[in-house]
Amino acid sequence: MTRLIVWRHGNTDWNAERRVQGQTDVPLNDLGQQQAVDAAELLARLGPAAIVSSDLRRAADTASALAALTGLAVHSDPRLRERYFGPWQGLTMAEVAQTRPAEHARWTAGEPVIGEDIETLDDLGKRVADGLQAAAEKVPHGATVVVATHGAAARQGIGHLLGWPAEQLRTLRALQNCHWVELTHDPERGWQIGAYNVGPFTQRPVPPPV
């Protein structure tokens, strides 16, 4: 069966500040770069046949750490970008809660539509799932592909692939930086989740990624 590894990027300064990144092109910080190297050493042992990444730097640079070990090229796909958060981008979550309390309450409740031109969960899930499916089709049946993406994007894209309702998807904790999800696919069973939030180190729980 084909194996799909959905890998969240390493830490950034905006992650550390609990600042909303969305599609702002924020680079990895020193910690994030080291996380990518540490995770890549484990992922290389899975023998990936292809690497695909969001075109945002924090994901692309994370993927590059694995490419350096495997000799594989990194294929870029903008469908794997993080959720677009519109006017929230650049604000801390505390600032969002203070200045946009109604929208923040809808986000906290997991409502699919927040407003303010923020991408809906349905649109996000469909977009990222299309990118994940395309990545899986880059390798022969039975091979492994690694996809470097983002926290909210990963969760919604995976949920869409699995056909999970929103209520079930919300039971998944946020992916930690440079941790990943393992999915497998075969013609009889379709997509199945094999492992979740796997990584080379233990971190304290973090707020939902944005």
Do the annotations mark residue 155 as ligand-binding? no
CA distance 138 to 145: 8
Tell whether 77 is in a known binding site: no
Pairing of strands 190-198, 180-186: antiparallel
Which residue in 41, 82, 104, 111 is the catalytic one?
82
Instruction: Out of 9, 150, 160, 179, pick the active-site residue.
Output: 9
- Mark whether 137 is an active-site residue: no
CB atoms within 10 A of CB 162: 15
Q: Is 29 annotated as a binding residue?
A: no
If one counts every other C-beta atom within 10 angstroms of the C-beta of residue 134, the result is 16
12 is in an annotated binding site: yes
Q: How many CB atoms lie within 10 A of CB 160?
A: 22
Do the annotations mark residue 10 as ligand-binding? Answer: yes
User: Quick check: is 116 catalytic?
Assistant: no
| Annotated binding residue 184 | no
* Separation of alpha carbons 133 and 87, rounded Å: 30
Residue 15 labeled ligand binder: yes
Residues annotated within a binding site: 8-15, 58
Residues annotated within a binding site for substrate: 8-15, 58
For the annotated catalytic residues, the residue numbers are 9, 82
